[in-house]
């Protein structure tokens, strides 16, 4: 499914917005796609301090809380993983 994504970020005190059309397999994948887009923005900006202010889907649905939950998930332990 195609959707429009608008993100609003604060990068070291400066407000930045970005938007575009993206694709997801289903509606539950949209927050993951949004999170990855934000990670790309972090990379583009040299991983400077960045705060997610708002994440809007199709101009009306606010998924900021869900995306922040993804961002704040703990990193799983690497114990028992063999390369």
Give the pLDDT confidence score for residue 83 in this predicted structure: 66
- Given a contact cutoff of 8 angstroms between Cβ atoms, the answer to whether 41 and 9 are in contact is yes
**Domain residue spans of the chain:** 2-71
Q: Residue written as tokens 């938007």?
A: 19
Give the pLDDT confidence score for residue 72 in this predicted structure: 87
Which helix (H) or strand (E) segment holds residue 61: the answer is strand 61-62
State pTM to two decimals.
Answer: 0.83
56, pLDDT greater than 80:
yes
pLDDT per residue over 5-47, tens digit each?
Answer: 999 999 988 899 999 999 999 999 999 999 999 999 999 988 8
- Given a contact cutoff of 8 angstroms between Cβ atoms, the answer to whether 5 and 19 are in contact is yes
Which tokens in the block code for residue 58? 């199709």
Query: CA–CA separation, 37 vs 3, rounded Å?
Result: 13
Q: Residue written as tokens 């934000």?
A: 38
């Amino acid at each position: 499914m195609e959707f429009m994504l608008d993100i609003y970020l604060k990068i070291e005190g400066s407000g930045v917005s970005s938007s575009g059309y993206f694709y997801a397999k289903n509606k539950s994948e949209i927050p993951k796609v949004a999170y990855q887009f934000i990670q790309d923005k972090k990379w583009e900006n040299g991983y400077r301090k960045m705060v997610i202010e708002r994440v809007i889907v199709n101009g009306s649905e606010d998924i900021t809380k869900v995306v922040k939950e993804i961002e704040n998930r703990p990193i799983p332990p690497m114990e028992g993983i063999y390369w």
